[in-house]
């Protein structure tokens, strides 16, 4: 399955994923981890361990401070 990954404030990527891929796999494909970004589908964040069921997602980078 091919998924369009739109990184907010960054690039858009076309990612080929396996049928059993999760949203964490999509983040890894664009060199981000679950502690760095959140995946949003139709305006709602989705858990990283959920299987990918759509062909377009948005990725929002998380801001961390200390």
In a domain, 66, yes or no: no
CATH number of 43's domain: 3.10.20.30
Structural contact between residues 23 and 39, judged by C-beta atoms closer than 8 angstroms:
yes
In a domain, 31, yes or no: yes
Report the predicted TM-score, pTM, of the whole model to 2 decimal places: 0.88
Please give the residue range of the domain that contains residue 50.
Answer: 2-61
Per-residue pLDDT of the chain (66 residues; tens, 9 = 90+): 999 999 999 999 999 999 999 999 999 999 999 899 999 999 999 999 999 999 999 999 987 666
In a domain, 55, yes or no: yes
Domain count, the chain: 1
The whole-number pLDDT of residue 64 equals 67
Task: Tally Cβ neighbours within 10 Å of residue 54.
Answer: 13
Q: How far is residue 36's CA from residue 30's CA, in Å, rounded to a whole number?
A: 11
């Amino acid at each position: 399955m091919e998924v369009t990954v739109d990184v907010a404030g960054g690039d858009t990527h076309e990612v080929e994923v396996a049928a059993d891929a999760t949203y964490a796999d999509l983040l890894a494909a664009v060199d981000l981890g679950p502690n760095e970004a959140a995946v949003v589908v139709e305006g709602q964040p989705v858990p990283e361990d959920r299987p990918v069921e759509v062909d377009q997602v948005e990725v929002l980078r998380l801001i961390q401070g200390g």
